[in-house]
């Protein structure tokens, strides 16, 4: 199937979603079994929100690919410690990821105005990281030649900053939260006031827990920016699209990516706007894997579709002997 239709602005989202659902129901056995067990199939779905979302653990525990993975196929894997099972996302069509990445970023940012600086390990050290692949793609397509991976553990070079200033480009500084905090704490530097910092999450792996607000304030202070210049990206190994939040913390999606918030006690159900629940994803760019994913992230959504990410969902547990004031 030629996946370019997912970017076609003349076709409504619902039509595109149904086409992807039918395709994946037919081609992806685990997803088909999952849907059948729930009594759902393409000819029984009336609305898009009735398509069941597969738990993201499927990418860890099974081969989620409608095309049989081949030896040289691009594959992304989630980060993890030795011995841990990691998710694998097979990408038989890297061009699809490129398109989703560029079109998605262009939806929200005038990318041609920016030089990309990435404070992450380089691509050669992490060829299986979807984030680093994405950054490598952005860096390599910048015609100025000024975009680059920064060296972890070293400050942003003053010469690099001068060169960017001389080019009249703005800076878009990418990094995982914990990496940017390290940079901010060890090598604070004034960035031009029209710069944007794009943190890509990852606060839970840092040596200390930090709220998003605290993170953004810390980064803004270290780089002499207004906190509104610290933005966020929401993505994961299992997705080929990203959502972006400006300084308000509310994420927006490109047209082929839909987020919903699901009832943790019944993931087939969406919760009303304003209520917290599990973040559900429909990423149409995942044509060759599974577009319909239930994450373990906690979120809340507004009526207009913007959403916030509130960390990992930790369920309240009422098992066992438990004195409850209102029940006992």
Partner 1 sequence: MNTAADRATALGEAVQSWIDDESGLLGKALKATLDEQLFFRDDVNFALDHVRSSVSAESLKDWASKFSNQLHETESASGKKMLLCLHAGNLPLVGLQDILAVLISGHHYAGKISRKDPHLLSSLLRFLQENTTFDIHRYSTKIEDFTNLEADAVMFSGSESSVADVRRLLADKNMLAAGAAELIRTAHSSVAWIPQEANFEAVAAELVEAMFRYEGKGCRSLTTVFTDGDTRSLVEAIEAEAGASSYIKENLSVRKLSPLLHYKRSFYRALDQQCFSAGDRLIAATDPDLHTDGLVTITRADKDECIHFAEKNRRRIQSLYTTDTNTGFGQIVAEPIGFAQRPPVNWKPDGVDPLHWLYQPEQKPGPEV
Question: Is residue 269 near partner 1 by the rule CB under 8 A?
Answer: yes
Q: How far is the CB of 185 from partner 1 (least distance, A)?
A: 27
Is 135 strand, coil or helix?
A: helix
Binding mask 205-244 for partner 1 (x = CB under 8 A): ----------------------------------------
Shortest distance, CB of residue 37 to partner 1, whole angstroms? 3
Beta-carbon contacts of 138 under 8 Å, excluding residues fewer than 6 positions away, are 101, 105, 111, 116, 118, 147
By beta-carbon proximity to partner 1, the closer residue of 188 and 264 is 264
Are residues 174 and 119 in contact, defined by beta-carbon separation less than 8 angstroms? yes
Q: Figure out which of the listed residues 34, 59, 114, 244 binds partner 1, where binding follows CB under 8 A.
A: 34
User: Binder to partner 1 among 247, 249, 267, 311 (CB under 8 A)?
Assistant: 267
Q: What is the dihedral of CA 11, 259, 133, 155, to 10 degrees?
A: 130
When the beta carbons of 184 and 271 are compared against partner 1, the nearer one is 271
Closest by alpha carbon to 227, among 235, 238, 219, 236? 219
Least gap, CB of 292 to partner 1 (angstroms): 12
CA 62 to each of CA 55, 82, 130, 187, 225: distance values in angstroms, whole numbers, following the listed order: 11, 19, 19, 42, 44
Residue from the set 18, 27, 42, 55 that interacts with partner 1 by CB under 8 A: 55
Given 23, 62, 79, 182, the residue binding partner 1 (CB under 8 A): 62
Beta-strand relationship, 292-301 and 54-55: parallel
Q: Does 37 bind partner 1 (CB under 8 A)?
A: yes
Phi-psi region of 274 (alpha: psi -120 to 50; beta: other; left: phi over 0): left
38 lies in the binding site for partner 1 (CB under 8 A) = yes
3-class secondary-structure state, position 295: strand
Give CA–CA dist 194/113, Å, rounded.
11
Q: Is residue 84 a contact point for partner 1 (CB under 8 A)?
A: no
Return the number of the residue (30 or 121) whose C-beta is nearest partner 1.
30
- For residue 202, state whether it binds partner 1 (rule: CB under 8 A): no
What residue ranges bind partner 1 (CB under 8 A)? 30-31, 33-34, 37-38, 52, 54-55, 58, 61-62, 264-269, 314-325, 327-328
């Amino acid at each position: 199937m030629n996946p370019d239709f997912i970017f076609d602005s003349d076709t409504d989202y619902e039509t595109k979603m149904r086409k992807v659902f039918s395709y994946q129901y037919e081609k992806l056995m685990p997803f088909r079994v999952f849907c059948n067990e729930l009594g759902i199939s393409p000819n029984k779905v009336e609305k898009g929100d009735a398509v069941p979302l597969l738990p993201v653990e499927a990418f860890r525990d099974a081969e989620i690919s409608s095309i049989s993975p081949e030896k040289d196929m691009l594959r992304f894997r989630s980060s993890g410690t030795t011995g841990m099972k990691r998710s694998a996302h097979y990408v038989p069509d890297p061009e699809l990821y490129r398109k989703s990445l560029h079109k998605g970023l262009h939806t929200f940012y005038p990318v041609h105005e920016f030089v990309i600086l990435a404070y992450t390990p380089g691509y050669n050290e992490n060829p299986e990281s979807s984030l680093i692949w994405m950054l490598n793609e952005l860096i390599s397509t910048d015609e100025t030649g000024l975009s680059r991976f920064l060296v972890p553990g070293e400050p942003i070079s003053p010469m690099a900053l001068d060169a960017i200033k001389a080019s009249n480009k703005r800076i878009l500084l990418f990094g995982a939260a914990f990496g940017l905090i390290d940079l901010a704490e060890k090598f604070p530097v004034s960035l031009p006031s029209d710069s944007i910092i794009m943190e890509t999450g990852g606060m839970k792996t840092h040596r200390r827990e930090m709220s998003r607000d605290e993170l953004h304030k810390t980064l803004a202070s270290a780089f002499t920016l207004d906190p509104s210049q610290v933005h966020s990206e929401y993505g994961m190994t299992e997705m080929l699209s990203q959502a972006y939040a400006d300084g308000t913390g509310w994420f927006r999606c490109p047209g082929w990516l839909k987020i919903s918030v699901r009832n943790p006690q019944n993931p087939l159900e969406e919760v009303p706007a304003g209520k917290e629940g599990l973040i559900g994803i429909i990423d149409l760019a995942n044509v060759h894997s599974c577009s319909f994913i239930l994450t373990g992230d906690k979120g809340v959504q507004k009526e207009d579709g913007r959403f916030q990410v509130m960390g990992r969902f930790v369920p309240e547990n009422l098992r066992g002997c438990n004195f409850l004031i209102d029940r006992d």
